[in-house]
């Protein structure tokens, strides 16, 4: 019996029943023709600063829809569906862009950053986004995805970090199975060097790509690439981030906090302005208190859940993710928790970054190999091994929840490894080429319109409409309360919030 099987037998039904999940889903608002909507965040959606379920990410044009915490997959997707229904009823003829890579974009400097009102907290959120725009370009920030939050009762910090290490080793499988961004609109890379090739006259792509969002064109940073963040324990992780959050980075020092006109360029000149700027496929997280730094919360009270950040929007699913995908994620995360998880090393961390790029940009390439220790292993072979190890885990999950959802999800993954033409990334390229004359924008626009119409046909009870209207108004009231309660100047607030002392325990 393997150690994984032994640990699986040690789980109780109560442990499995205690699994909790939530979803954060980003989507651009686009005009009917496929261009980015430059309109402000709609007032009827409430305050993007304080609404619990509807906010914005980088841009005024980039919605982020957030569920609560759920014990069941169905209830989580039901809530995400209801949020979508309300949003569609508010945005009129605008579309929610259903793909991760953006719609047709204007010049970089005209992409509107998120605005959150006149409070110090609201201004800080906007200045942070201004900094992101200066550091990485606004176009990169318009990429959208799904974040999947997951927890299980009784786990220690070491348990969560063991899970995270294995997730980073094996997340190539998620890019392969669920990546759905193999092509982009040419406007996304206008003026930039790239290795993409034409797919018709209206798309650029890589023939075997799975998720350009997670490759070199996506959320990547040359500056952050120099970080060698260890996930061996909370202390090592905290030390790595603390240094990046407090050490000035010369190019950002040259940019300065203020521009010559006295307006803010960024929150700080450090390698990371705040914790959320650190990119990664998965993060350890804890709910923070008002005004608290996330790193301080982690150090003081430990890991509460993990945030999976490598999932593309699925343009073939109404809310961007399918129930079967979530069932596989739950099985996969439990595998990451239960499998042996040796400490990471700088050499392995570098290899994992290379594996991520290979899987993202060449994942469906026949005989593609990934680094595993001193060996180069075929992606499909390694993936098949992981999927086979997930079979008893899926059976254990189904034994508690009933039905076959997890076993079916694992069986679908095994089939996809043998038939890559059925993967979402392959289906996207096939649809662009055969149904939309090689136009990425035409493909996503058609999918977005189809999904918009499908939501328009769904009943939306008056009590749900009233609830979301009430939440919107309450969020506006709360933003106004925050603005009235501020007494310190913004610069005082900024310096105090970024003080290294606020990161310590």
Res 219 pLDDT > 90: no
- pLDDT in the model for residue 2: 87
Instruction: Copy the structure tokens of residue 487.
Output: 């007494």
**Per-residue DSSP letter, 187:** G
Percent of the chain with pLDDT over 90: 94
The residue-averaged pLDDT of 202-221 equals: 92
Asked if the 3-503 domain carries CATH number 3.50.50.60, the reply is: no
- Asked if 392 and 5 touch (Cβ cutoff 8 Å), the reply is yes
The mean pLDDT value of the chain amounts to 96
- pLDDT in the model for residue 415: 98
Residue-wise pLDDT tens digits, 333-375: 999 999 999 999 999 999 999 999 999 999 999 999 999 999 9
Query: Which pLDDT band holds residue 228 (cuts at 50, 70, 90)?
Result: confident
Res 120 pLDDT > 80: yes
How many whole angstroms separate alpha carbon 153 and alpha carbon 300?
19
- Asked if 230 and 236 touch (Cβ cutoff 8 Å), the reply is yes
Query: Which pLDDT band holds residue 153 (cuts at 50, 70, 90)?
Result: very high
Q: Which of 377, 293, 353, 319 is nearest to 73 (CA)?
A: 319
Identify the weakest region by mean pLDDT among 117-126, 222-231, 339-348: 222-231
Decide: helix, strand or coil at residue 64: strand
Which CA distances in Å does 15 have to 9, 286, 357?
A: 11, 20, 35
Residue-wise pLDDT tens digits, 8-30: 999 999 999 999 999 999 999 99
Decide: helix, strand or coil at residue 44: helix
The residue-averaged pLDDT of 159-163 equals: 98
- pLDDT in the model for residue 201: 83
How many whole angstroms separate alpha carbon 424 and alpha carbon 188?
21
- pLDDT in the model for residue 505: 82
Residue-wise pLDDT tens digits, 171-202: 999 999 999 999 999 999 998 889 999 998 88
pTM exceeds cut of 0.85: yes
Question: How big is the chain by its Cα radius of gyration, in Å?
Answer: 22
- pLDDT in the model for residue 200: 84
- pLDDT in the model for residue 155: 98
- Asked if 454 and 94 touch (Cβ cutoff 8 Å), the reply is no
Residues 6 or more apart in contact with residue 248 via CB below 8 angstroms: 269, 270, 271
Residue-wise pLDDT tens digits, 53-97: 999 999 999 999 999 999 999 999 999 999 999 999 999 999 999
- pLDDT in the model for residue 271: 95
- Number of Cβ within a 10 Å radius of residue 353: 13
Q: What is the helix (H) or strand (E) element at residue 292, kind and residue range? A: none
Identify the weakest region by mean pLDDT among 337-341, 405-409, 500-504: 500-504
Decide: helix, strand or coil at residue 222: helix
The residue-averaged pLDDT of 302-319 equals: 98
- Asked if 73 and 80 touch (Cβ cutoff 8 Å), the reply is no
- pLDDT in the model for residue 225: 75
State the pairing for strand pair 305-311/62-66. Answer: unpaired
- pLDDT in the model for residue 222: 74
Instruction: For the chain, report the end-to-end CA distance as a whole number of angstroms.
Output: 42
- Asked if 112 and 38 touch (Cβ cutoff 8 Å), the reply is yes
The residue-averaged pLDDT of 224-228 equals: 79
Instruction: Copy the structure tokens of residue 423.
Output: 């993967």
Query: Which pLDDT band holds residue 227 (cuts at 50, 70, 90)?
Result: confident
Query: Which pLDDT band holds residue 115 (cuts at 50, 70, 90)?
Result: very high
Res 33 pLDDT > 80: yes
Q: Which of 320, 455, 428 is nearest to 27 (CA)?
A: 320
- pLDDT in the model for residue 170: 98
Res 220 pLDDT > 80: no
- pLDDT in the model for residue 224: 80
- pLDDT in the model for residue 168: 98
The residue-averaged pLDDT of 403-410 equals: 98
Residues 6 or more apart in contact with residue 463 via CB below 8 angstroms: none
Res 259 pLDDT > 90: yes
The CA angle 505-304-145, to the nearest 5 degrees, is 115
Q: Which of 20, 21, 40 is nearest to 29 (CA)?
A: 40
């Amino acid at each position: 019996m393997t150690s994984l099987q032994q640990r699986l037998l040690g789980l109780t039904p109560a442990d499995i029943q205690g699994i909790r999940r939530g979803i954060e889903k980003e989507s651009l608002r686009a005009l009917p023709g496929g261009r980015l909507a430059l309109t402000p965040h709609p007032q009827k959606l409430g305050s993007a600063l304080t609404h619990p379920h509807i906010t914005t990410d980088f841009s005024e044009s980039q919605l982020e829809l957030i569920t609560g915490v759920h014990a069941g997959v169905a209830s989580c997707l039901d809530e995400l569906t209801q949020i979508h229904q309300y949003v569609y009823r508010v945005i009129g003829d605008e579309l929610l862009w259903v793909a991760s890579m953006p719609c047709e974009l204007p010049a970089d400097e005209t992409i509107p950053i998120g605005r959150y009102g006149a409070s110090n907290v609201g201004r800080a959120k906007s200045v942070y986004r201004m900094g992101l725009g200066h550091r990485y370009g606004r176009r990169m920030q318009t990429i959208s995805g799904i974040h999947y939050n997951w927890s299980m009762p009784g786990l220690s910090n070491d348990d969560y970090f063991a899970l995270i290490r294995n997730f980073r080793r094996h997340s190539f499988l998620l890019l392969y199975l669920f990546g759905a961004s193999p092509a982009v609109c040419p406007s996304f890379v206008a003026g930039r060097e790239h290795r993409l090739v034409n797919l018709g006259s209206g798309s650029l792509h890589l023939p075997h790509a799975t998720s350009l969002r997670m490759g070199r064109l996506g959320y990547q940073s040359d500056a952050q690439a120099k970080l060698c963040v260890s996930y061996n324990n909370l202390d090592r992780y905290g030390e790595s981030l603390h240094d990046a959050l407090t050490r000035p980075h010369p190019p950002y020092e040259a940019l300065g906090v203020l521009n010559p006109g006295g307006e803010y360029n960024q929150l700080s000149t450090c390698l990371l302005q705040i914790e959320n700027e650190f990119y990664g496929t998965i993060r350890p997280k804890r709910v923070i208190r008002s005004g608290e730094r996330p790193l301080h919360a982690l150090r003081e009270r430990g890991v509460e859940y993990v945030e999976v950040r490598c999932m593309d929007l699925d343009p073939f699913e109404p809310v961007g993710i399918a129930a079967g995908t979530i069932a596989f994620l739950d099985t996969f995360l439990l595998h990451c928790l239960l499998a042996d998880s040796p400490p990471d090393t700088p050499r392995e961390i570098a290899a994992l970054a290379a594996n991520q790029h290979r899987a993202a940009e060449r994942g469906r390439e026949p005989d593609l190999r990934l680094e595993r220790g001193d060996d180069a292993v075929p992606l499909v072979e390694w993936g098949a091994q992981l999927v086979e190890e997930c079979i008893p885990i899926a059976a254990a999950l189904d034994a508690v929840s009933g039905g076959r959802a997890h076993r079916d999800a694992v069986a679908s993954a095994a089939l996809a490894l043998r038939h890559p033409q059925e993967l979402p990334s392959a289906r996207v390229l096939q649809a662009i080429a055969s149904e939309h004359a090689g136009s990425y924008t035409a493909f996503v626009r058609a999918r977005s319109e189809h999904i918009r119409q499908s939501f328009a046909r769904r009943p939306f009870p008056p009590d749900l409409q009233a609830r979301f209207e009430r939440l919107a108004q309450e969020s506006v009231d709360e933003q106004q309360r925050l603005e009235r309660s501020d007494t310190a100047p913004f610069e005082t607030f900024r310096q105090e919030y970024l003080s290294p002392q606020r990161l310590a325990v």
